[in-house]
Amino acid sequence: MDWNKARRSGGSPFAALMAMVQWLSACVNVLRPVRAFRHYSLQRGPLMSAGIGFNMFFSITGLLTTGFSIAGLVLRGQPALLDTIVSSVAQSAPGLLKVNGGQGLVDPQDMLNPDGLGWTAVIGSLVTIVTSLRWISGIREGLRGVLNLPPLLLNPILLKLRDAGILLLLGVALVISAGASLVFGTAARWVTDFLRLDDVLAGPLTTSIKIGVPLVLGWVTAFVMYRLAAGLKLSRRALLEGTILAAVGTTVLQIFSTELLAGAGRNPILASFAIIIGLLIWFNLVSQVYLVSAGWAAVREADARDTSGASSRKTILGAKRTNPHT
């Protein structure tokens, strides 16, 4: 290696230092996280993430109006479940809903009132849903683009129907997760009251529920996007690692969402548009998490096909002696 040669040749300390820097850089570049991020960058991941986040922002309002109107009609007799659904949506997209007296783009109570749900509203909702499906199409093209796959060739009408079915499936998953959060939260409070646990002991139990349920919902959403929306046919390990990484990334973003949105409001120029700017930043970050996780899955899939490197010595974080797949 150049570093060993520089040391043995008795060259200048600067040459030895530069050789050591190159050696360390080579060691870092073969780590799987670095290779995954390089692959994401080389496939224009940041640019695609910006486009997907932009589509998400303009699609979410129509979807919320229709979804909350249907939820208010179907779940009218379940106010606790409705409140949990509102909390889940507010946590998934911070700054979108006005909850607990805070700032938000829309008031969920205005959308949960189904009294004005006539034929005109139904037709308008259908048009809104079809228009709002662009964000699913954007995620599909982004995931397939990162994995160097061509666009999914299907009949446009069938593709829209498929995306609508995916949207319905995600809505059902949201309701189920909200119900699970309500049940587990109630059970945790009952156990806490029954055993008279202190806050020191009850706190971790409540926190685990608040983190665990969104984490499972995030994984289900990522799995649906990978397999159904994008039609990715990955190995089991690549699919599992990619979806888990996406779920963990979105959950971490939710945990630090308050700090992210507060940062947008500190700029005096953007203060009057803090909610809109915060949502744009949020959707962009979520899109980047999905595409970076797709980059990880692409590198993992390439490593699985690399039979020549199967016997190579591996080190931490999936580093290999073979050349990085980018």
| Rg, Å, the chain Cα set | 24
The encoded tokens of residue 258 equal 């308050």
Q: What is the pTM of this model?
A: 0.78
- With contact defined as beta carbons under 8 Å apart, do 146 and 45 qualify? yes
Three-state DSSP state, 97 = strand
Element (H, E) at 240: helix 236-255
CA distance 137 to 282: 19
CA distance 44 to 39: 9
pLDDT per residue rounded down to tens, the chain (326 residues): 555 555 555 556 666 667 677 778 777 888 889 999 999 999 999 999 998 888 888 777 667 777 777 777 777 777 777 777 777 777 777 767 777 766 666 777 776 665 555 555 566 667 667 767 888 888 999 999 999 999 888 888 888 888 888 888 887 887 777 777 777 777 777 777 776 767 666 677 777 877 888 888 889 999 999 999 999 989 999 999 999 999 999 988 887 776 666 555 565 555 556 677 777 888 889 999 999 999 999 999 988 877 545 544 443 344 444 443 44
